[in-house]
Structure 1
Amino acid sequence: MSQGAVHSRTDFAGAVATHLAEAKLADMPEATIDRAKQRLLDSVGNVLAGVDATGNQAARDVFLSYGDASDSTVFGTGARAAAPNAALLNSMAMRSYDFEAVGAESADSSMVAAHISGTTVPVALAVGERAATSGAHVLEALILGDDLASRLAVASGFHTASGGDNTGTVNVMGGAAIAGKIAGFTTAQYRHAFGHALNQMAGTVQSLFDKADSFKMPQSFGARNAIVAADLAQAGFTGLHDAINAPFGFFTLYSPNPEPEKLLHELGENYYGDMIIKPWASCRAAHPSLDATLRLRQAHGLTADDVAAIEVHVTPATKRGFTAQPFSEDPGSETDGLFSIPFNIAAGMIAGTVRPEHLSADYMRSAPVRELLGKITIHDTLPAQEYQTAEVVIVTHAGDRLHQRVEAVLGDIYRNRLTDEAVIEKYYLNVEFGGQKDRRQADEIRERIANLEQLDSIVELTSLLA
């Protein structure tokens, strides 16, 4: 709970609700629309890659047992479920390799930790399919939900050291906004939905320290809870008047360092969302160190056999965090590798990248990986105020001491973006890894997303994802 929330007379929920009710796709910038469709393509590829990741079949068995409703598609499985449960399962698949878009975008192009698309895309597709609404309507709602979740993350002053997981907080309101827009909510209904969203918020980063499969749940429950919040509001079940800025609202309960004015700054003029499309399947906190390692590998033509030692220099906060823990002696699921700087560096040196195929238990236990892990040390020598930086020193058997500092990590749309071609290649590789769709089907899915505004019904897309 924030001790610093200041409750002005500003009716934040009312301002947001009015904006959502009035906003139209036709008034949104072309660049905003293009980015949303690129995140959607990336998201769909990540869902299909993650269908069979550890624990997901068990979760499907549970949630598909709850009833016969078949409103929406559970992607890559042939199954159907009630929209809240379909969104949950699709969100879980997307989260499984930590390969989905991240980073709540702020007005100054800085980033606050967040995983927005992992909730908002499954919500938009599940609710859109249930309503058989147009592709343009889904796109409009998705942009609005992404923007709200991003603004909430930035205005909350969220940081992972707070212990919470904002995929289970800001995403719920963003998803509720999406479901409400598709349903044609009034401002009063949006208010109620935000209140119901607030009462379902939760999430802890402890799962990341414990390397538990439950790290997927805040984002996944966020998707389900968003739809439940909107469905309750549509049914006439009343909620809070201002769930965002009430004395015991969002800014008090889920904002470590709130700056409420950022929520409404240029609302309706600029639209924000995840600002990083990941180049590697792992936690973004591991990417600066991995990026530095890969740059040295490429620049000097290194192989794993050349390495005598690798020193990794990070901030004290990173060293204390879940990605700097010693790597498991007996890795059992993808989670062990996703949230490990040492593993990412070892896999990166061997394979030149980190993708879902490098996160199997067999690969993580392999002799080459274990040998390199024994040569990696992590040091908290960088200034505490730095963020998303790392320095790596590789000492070779030849006696060379090679140094690389990274400040602009690959994937950031403002500082070092992935090319459009790289995003498309990532999509195809993920679909191929998942194994549910062939190249022809992948092409057709991509074509439908590229022409989303022209689809009379979003079912033209979701039917291809079954």
Structure 2
Amino acid sequence: MKELVEHVLQTSFETLGGETIERAKERVIDVIGCILSGSRADGSKAICDLVREWGGKKESSIFVYGGRVPACNAAFANSIMARSYDFEPVGTFVEGKERPSHISGSTIPTALAVGEMKGCSGKEILTAIVVGDDLASRILAASNFGLGFKWDSVGIVNAFGVVGTAGRLMALNSGTLRNAFGIVLNQLSGTFQNLYDAAHTFKLLQGLSAKAGILSVLLASKGLKGVDDPLFAERGYFSLYCDAYDQGLLKRDLGRRFYADSTIKPYPCCRATHGAIDCALSIVSENDIRPEEVEQIIVRVSPKTLAFAVGQPFVERGVPQINAAFSLQYAVACAVLRRSVKLEHFEEEAIRDERILSLVEKVILGSDGIPPEKHLACHMTMKVKDGRVFEKYVDVPKGDEFFNPLSREEKMEKFLENASFSRLMSREKAKELLGWLQDLESLTSLRRVVRLLSP
């Protein structure tokens, strides 16, 4: 634990490297864009209203809806909006293996809230994001986390990353930061059942981990004592949550390689559906297939993906937007019908479109031929009524920074589309905000950014 604490506190901006800094800025831009669009998702306004009702010390801003509240509450609300359309950065890539993760949606709103409270510079904020993301990524990778787990890492592992980010910005000493990690161990929770039930609580975890992490840092700064070794104690994190773990992943290349979410998502839905979306879009566009021509669509994914929430039959359950966002059948039907998968396709009217429901019935899910470890891969066979058959295989869906990245232009256009969907700002103001974020390391404070994000 000592080496990890020192890594969080002693890493300097100057040692990060240009690529690490640019990717961190891209994650900041993506998360803020997703906060803007996520403000319109079901439940977001209610949560922000509740946080404003709590009141308290005016430290940090609730984005979009406005109001200044304690930093932990601002990060709570903003993190939830960031996750609302399941559109924010995902998928940490550690030592050649991608792990399902949603780390940035907690650490970045934390950095913005604490950074606003403490008057931190852009360089300080970026450094805190990088070390927090790296810490959470290493813990997640060491845990061998995957879609087959029953607990959701967002409400558990993210909290450690938040402590690292907030503790760095609040300039804790090593003993106090270690206590903060020991305190947050007692605030970890989260279940994948939220996704199976299409419940609002799937995004609540994003904010709960942010709030828990900041609260732990504040408690430690007031002298409260936490567990000595929150990771490796007999009743610590790894003992509680993992049947097996790889301790070496925590320290290998520490300070030389910085891990983080490595996918900027092109579609506002679960990453496990993106391979199927890519297949469907490719087949219908390359062969000019109209929805009424489709007879059957066979979608093959890995056994773990099929057993995950996205493999459930698309029937009415829970919150319609969340239900659609975690459905392979809906994702494929949407791609075939609309030749795109966009934010507006997850509004209730679009989800209940009879043409979608007709196509859903033609989507058959299976897992034969896809190895278990290929949790993002998809093979699709599309049969049309005149007897033609089309096939497509996608190994890594679009968006992965290492194997199939979005272009810089696509990433920036995604931000502008998110801003437009929010109805908060004109395209001109969105471009102004984007300009400040692209030059984040040059800012002496977040004042200009906050002004544009808050009414």
> When the two structures are superposed, what TM-score results if normalisation uses the length of structure 2?
0.97
Aligned to 1:160: 147
Aligned to 2:377: 389
Aligned to 1:309: 296
CA–CA distance in structure 1, aligned partners of residues 434 and 273 of structure 2: 29
Output aligned runs, 1:222-301, within 5 Å: 222-301=209-288
Q: Secondary structure at the match of 2:451?
A: helix
- Supply the AA of the counterpart residue of 1:145: G
Aligned to 1:73: 61
**CA shift at 1:313, angstroms?**
1.1
- The superposition leaves residues 283-339 of structure 1 with CA deviations (integer Å, 9 ceiling, x where unpaired) of 011111111111112221222122111111122222221101111247743101100
- Alignment equivalent of 1:90, drawn from 74, 78, 83: 78
- Alignment equivalent of 2:350, drawn from 356, 363, 368: 363
- The superposition leaves residues 187-240 of structure 1 with CA deviations (integer Å, 9 ceiling, x where unpaired) of 111101111111111100001000111111111101111100111111111112
How many residues align structurally? 453
- Alignment equivalent of 2:114, drawn from 127, 146, 162: 127
- Supply the AA of the counterpart residue of 2:69: A
Native 8 Å contact 2:334 2:341 kept in 1: yes
CA–CA distance in structure 1, aligned partners of residues 260 and 246 of structure 2: 18
CA–CA distance in structure 1, aligned partners of residues 147 and 19 of structure 2: 30
Native 8 Å contact 1:158 1:256 kept in 2: no
- The superposition leaves residues 322-379 of structure 1 with CA deviations (integer Å, 9 ceiling, x where unpaired) of 1011112477431011000000001111222212110011111112111111211111
Aligned to 2:2: 14
**CA shift at 1:160, angstroms?**
2.6
Aligned to 1:115: 102
CA–CA distance in structure 1, aligned partners of residues 396 and 272 of structure 2: 13
**CA shift at 1:425, angstroms?**
0.8
Aligned to 1:7: none
- The superposition leaves residues 14-69 of structure 1 with CA deviations (integer Å, 9 ceiling, x where unpaired) of 11111122110011111000000011111110000011211112222322222232
- Alignment equivalent of 1:197, drawn from 164, 181, 184: 184
CA–CA distance in structure 1, aligned partners of residues 147 and 70 of structure 2: 32
**CA shift at 1:465, angstroms?**
0.9
1:144 maps to 2:160: no
- Supply the AA of the counterpart residue of 1:293: A
Output aligned runs, 1:453-464, within 5 Å: 453-464=441-452
CA–CA distance in structure 2, aligned partners of residues 324 and 153 of structure 1: 24
Output aligned runs, 1:6-45, within 5 Å: 13-45=1-33
Aligned to 1:402: 390
Q: Secondary structure at the match of 2:365?
A: strand
CA–CA distance in structure 1, aligned partners of residues 154 and 405 of structure 2: 23
Aligned to 1:416: 404
Native 8 Å contact 2:114 2:169 kept in 1: yes
Native 8 Å contact 1:158 1:257 kept in 2: no
CA–CA distance in structure 2, aligned partners of residues 420 and 158 of structure 1: 30
> Are the structure 2 counterparts of residues 384 and 330 from structure 1 closer, same or farther at C-alpha, using a change threshold of 3 Å?
closer
CA–CA distance in structure 1, aligned partners of residues 260 and 78 of structure 2: 19
Aligned to 2:208: 221
Which range moves more in the overlay, 347-356 or 167-176?
347-356
CA–CA distance in structure 1, aligned partners of residues 178 and 245 of structure 2: 21
Native 8 Å contact 1:388 1:409 kept in 2: yes
Native 8 Å contact 1:331 1:365 kept in 2: no
- Supply the AA of the counterpart residue of 2:425: K
Output aligned runs, 1:40-59, within 5 Å: 40-59=28-47
**CA shift at 1:247, angstroms?**
1.6
CA–CA distance in structure 1, aligned partners of residues 50 and 412 of structure 2: 34
Aligned to 1:176: 163
CA–CA distance in structure 2, aligned partners of residues 256 and 343 of structure 1: 34
Native 8 Å contact 2:272 2:375 kept in 1: no
Native 8 Å contact 2:8 2:164 kept in 1: yes
Q: Secondary structure at the match of 1:177?
A: helix
CA–CA distance in structure 2, aligned partners of residues 342 and 433 of structure 1: 25
Which range moves more in the overlay, 294-303 or 47-56?
294-303
Aligned to 1:443: 431
CA–CA distance in structure 1, aligned partners of residues 319 and 132 of structure 2: 35
**CA shift at 1:387, angstroms?**
2.5
**CA shift at 1:396, angstroms?**
0.9
1:433 maps to 2:383: no
- Give the unaligned 5+ runs of structure 2: none
Which range moves more in the overlay, 375-384 or 355-364?
375-384
CA–CA distance in structure 2, aligned partners of residues 330 and 177 of structure 1: 37
Output aligned runs, 1:311-326, within 5 Å: 311-326=298-313
Q: Secondary structure at the match of 1:54?
A: coil
**CA shift at 1:256, angstroms?**
4.4
**CA shift at 1:172, angstroms?**
0.5
Q: Percent identity?
A: 33
- Alignment equivalent of 1:187, drawn from 147, 158, 174: 174
CA–CA distance in structure 1, aligned partners of residues 126 and 298 of structure 2: 45
CA–CA distance in structure 1, aligned partners of residues 254 and 134 of structure 2: 9
CA–CA distance in structure 2, aligned partners of residues 221 and 51 of structure 1: 17
CA–CA distance in structure 1, aligned partners of residues 425 and 19 of structure 2: 29
Native 8 Å contact 1:297 1:303 kept in 2: yes
CA–CA distance in structure 1, aligned partners of residues 318 and 137 of structure 2: 34
Native 8 Å contact 2:311 2:365 kept in 1: yes
CA–CA distance in structure 2, aligned partners of residues 159 and 367 of structure 1: 35
Aligned to 2:88: 100
Q: Secondary structure at the match of 2:296?
A: strand
CA–CA distance in structure 2, aligned partners of residues 257 and 434 of structure 1: 43
RMSD across aligned positions (CA): 1.3
CA–CA distance in structure 2, aligned partners of residues 252 and 160 of structure 1: 19
